[in-house]
Amino acid sequence: MAIAEDLFGAALFLDGGKKLQIWIDFHIGSRFACPQCKKPDCEVHDIALRTWHHLDFFEYKTHLHCRVPRVSCPDCGIHQVLVPWARARSGFSLLMEGLIAFFAQTMQMTQISEKLKIPDKRIWRVVAYHVNEALNRVDLSAVKFVGIEETARKKVTNTSLQLPICYPGKSSVYAKVKTRPF
């Protein structure tokens, strides 16, 4: 896990030794670059306490806590500094998101949820974010025809359905389209 030069950390075991809480803070008087315009040496405006679920350390459930500064940039206003170990508003460290994405390739979301002891709704949010990011990087300019899996309509149990769409001759699914049952 990367920690910037202006930050320092301390670890505490809480809840009868079953949780590892890692606290990360910045030195008083530290100055940070603006996350929007990259102007260096902006002073801290205020702070927000943030928490991220990190990879478990042996049998210890691990959380990162940090006082994340918001900087006052003379050029573009007040913005929260981006931390190097997590994506904005995710609630997970990048390493935990990587583990979730790795598991999602071969496991059902309920299995991941049970294994990591995280609600499946949070698992789905991480997977959806990374799938959308991957789809945004796919060049579909050469696609002239698409194939739609017709057997999916036989599996309909509710009022909506997601049909996978792929390029014939390729194994990759490019999108899922929500539709009503046939």
> What b/e sequence results for 82-104 when a residue is b if at least 16 CB atoms lie within 10 Å of its CB, and e otherwise?
ebebbbeebbbbbebbebbeebb
pLDDT at 129: 93
pLDDT at 29: 86
pLDDT at 94: 95
Q: How far apart are CA 3 and CA 20, in angstroms?
A: 18
Q: What is the CB-side half-sphere exposure of residue 59 using CA atoms within 13 A? A: 4
Q: Enumerate the domain spans of the chain.
A: 1-86, 92-137, 147-179
- Coil/strand/helix, residue 11: strand
Q: How far apart are CA 89 and CA 146, in angstroms?
A: 35
Tell me: the pLDDT tens digits for 36-70? 999 999 999 999 999 999 999 888 899 999 999 99
pLDDT at 16: 74
pLDDT at 146: 64
pLDDT at 175: 56
Residue ranges in the chain whose pLDDT is less than 50: 2, 159, 181-182
Tally Cβ neighbours within 10 Å of residue 117.
9
pLDDT at 181: 47
